[in-house]
Amino acid sequence: MGVTVERMTLLLPDPVLAGPACSGCGGKGITGDQYVWSESTPELLVDVLCPVCTGCGSADHVGCETTRHAEQDDEYDEYDDEQADPTSCPSCGGRRWWACQGFTDTEAYTLRVPCGCSEAEFTPVPAGSAVTR
């Protein structure tokens, strides 16, 4: 019996693909591995973005959801105030998550860390659920 730490996660719908699915993730955009992000309260269970498609789930990136890419296009950061959606979050640009590089001894990965602006949408993770760490 350990201390039960409340964990939350942000569930995002699977990508909608216009073309073939990524061979790395089967079109889900994430690897299926999850890590615990403990720098917030409650802790967050975060998904690992697929390194092949960088998160959109598309094999050819034709008509893919570019907002799911770990790296955003330059112009994405240069939007001016007149065009900016006043409801979008300045931290994540309305994506509801941000990409964070993580490393283990043997590999690098990109985490899809939920942004605080989406806190109302966080879903509790049952204690004892499988976690890759």
Binding interface with Zn ion (CB under 5 A): 22, 24-25, 50, 52-53, 56, 58, 61, 64, 89, 91-92, 115, 117
What's the closest the beta carbon of residue 65 comes to Zn ion, in angstroms? 7
Closest approach of Zn ion to the CB of residue 23, in Å: 7
Q: How many CB atoms are located within 10 Å of the residue 119 CB? A: 14
Select 61 or 122, whichever has its Cβ closest to Zn ion.
61
CB of 3 to Zn ion, least distance (A): 29
The residue (of 8 and 64) whose beta carbon lies closer to Zn ion is: 64
Shortest distance, CB of residue 101 to Zn ion, whole angstroms?
17
- Burial profile 60-77: b = 16 or more Cβ within 10 angstroms, e = fewer: eeeebbebbbbeeeeeee
Structure tokens given for 36: 């615990």
Encoded tokens for 18: 């216009």
120 CB burial (10 A radius; 0-12, 13-18, 19+): exposed
Nearer to Zn ion, 18 or 127 (CB): 18
The Cα 80–Cα 63 span in angstroms is 25
If the CB atoms of residues 39 and 105 are measured against Zn ion, the closer one turns out to be: 39
